[in-house]
Every structure is written in structure tokens, then in C-alpha cells.
Amino acid sequence: MPTKQGGLELLNDPVAQEMLQAPFPMRLAYNWTDGTPRVVPIGFHWDGTDLVIGSPPGAPKLNALQANPKVAITIDSNQMPYHVLLIRGTAQMTTHEGIIPEYTAYCFRYMGREGGEAWLQQVSQLIKTMVRIAIRPEWVGILDFDTRLPSAVERAIEAMGGA
């Protein structure tokens, strides 16, 4: 029987590990300063504890995350059966000189070594300081459309006698 949705131990599940290492962006959901929701696709690095993203200091999302650091994240595949990793957590921000190592790591994962190096060379000329946004998971869910389905579908199956 699969681990109950919400448990942090789900981060060790093969589907979670696949999504955390795949060259897919995460979708970061947060509340804008006026209270309306926002979702942005963004590259990330999983360091085993936090999902880490890098941002230029002037990025508008930083003000919103400072006001309300609670976020939701989805990382999902693009083919059936879909694999989906759902995370809720809190963002913590710190400012660093130069490009943070996690930004370098995810550039290489997404673009390969050569493409990542070319991109980083351009970025390092534009950005002299970077904000490190670390998101610590507080709730984790997985949908793999095999052993874990959306809750409404699971309830419908149970209502039919567990077919």
C-alpha cells in the first residue's frame, strides 16, 4: 500500500526521485502582493533537503515571497502515465555574491555542460548578486496514475467496490 499523501517520506519514492532529477522545470505557485495567485515555471536544484532556485535581486517575485513565503510546487512529466510530484512548503531567501552553486547545477542538468557553461557566462556578466530561494518541503504528494490516483478517482473506484 502506498504511503499516505502528505508524508515527507514520499520524497524517497522512485517517482519523487525521478521528478526531482528530471530536466523539467517546476511550477512555483505563490500569492502576489495583492493576494492574487501566480504560477511560474522555473528551474530548480534539489539538494536533498530543499528545492533551490536562484533569482536576480530585482525580481518582482521576491517581494511577494517576502510578504508570504508559503508556496506550492508541481513537477510533472509530459507523457502517460503522468508522474506528478506535489510539494507545499515555505521559501527562505538569502542574498549571495555571484551565481549560487545550485543555479549552476540546474543549468547543467537542463542544458548540458556546454549549453550550461555558455548560459552561465552570459548570466554572470548581468547578475553580480543572486538571491538563493530555498523551499523546504512541508507536505508531499505523488500521482503516478498506477498506484496513486487523484483522490476523486480513488473515491470513485472505492464506491464501485474497489474494481
Whole-angstrom distance, CA of residue 82 vs CA of residue 76: 7
Cis peptide before 56 (omega within 30 of 0): no
For residue 163, what pLDDT is reported? 56
Q: Classify residue 1: in a domain, yes or no.
A: no
Across 9-128, the runs of DSSP E, i.e. the strands, are: 26-31, 37-42, 45-46, 51-55, 70-76, 84-97
Rounded Cα–Cα distance for residues 41 and 5 (Å): 23
Pick the closest to residue 6 from 89, 70, 80 (CA basis). 89
For residue 158, the model assigns a pLDDT of 64
Does 2 fall in a domain?
no
Q: Is residue 163 part of a domain?
A: no
Q: Quick one: pLDDT at residue 155?
A: 60
Per-residue pLDDT tens digits for 87-115? 999 999 999 999 999 999 999 999 999 99
For residue 3, being part of any structural domain is answered with: no
Is residue 125 assigned to a domain? Answer: yes
User: How many domains does the chain contain in total?
Assistant: 1
Q: For residue range 42-90, list pLDDT tens digits in order.
A: 999 999 999 999 999 999 999 999 999 999 999 998 888 888 999 999 9
What's the confidence (pLDDT) of residue 154?
Answer: 59
- Mean pLDDT score across all residues of the chain: 90
Q: Which grid coordinates belong to 58?
A: 530585482
Is the Cβ–Cβ distance between 42 and 53 less than 8 Å? Answer: yes
- Residue 82 is predicted with a pLDDT of 84
Q: Which domain covers residue 77, as residue numbers?
A: 8-158
* 25 in a structural domain: yes
Judge whether 47 and 3 are in contact, CB under 8 Å: no
Q: What is the CATH number of the domain that holds 125?
A: 2.30.110.10
DSSP annotation string for 32-44: -TTS-EEEEEE--
Query: How far apart, in whole angstroms, are the C-alpha atoms of residue 58 and residue 82?
Result: 35
Residues 6+ apart with CB under 8 A from 17: 11
Task: Say if 140 falls within a structural domain.
Answer: yes
- Domain assignment present for residue 58? The answer is yes
- pLDDT, residue 78, reads 83
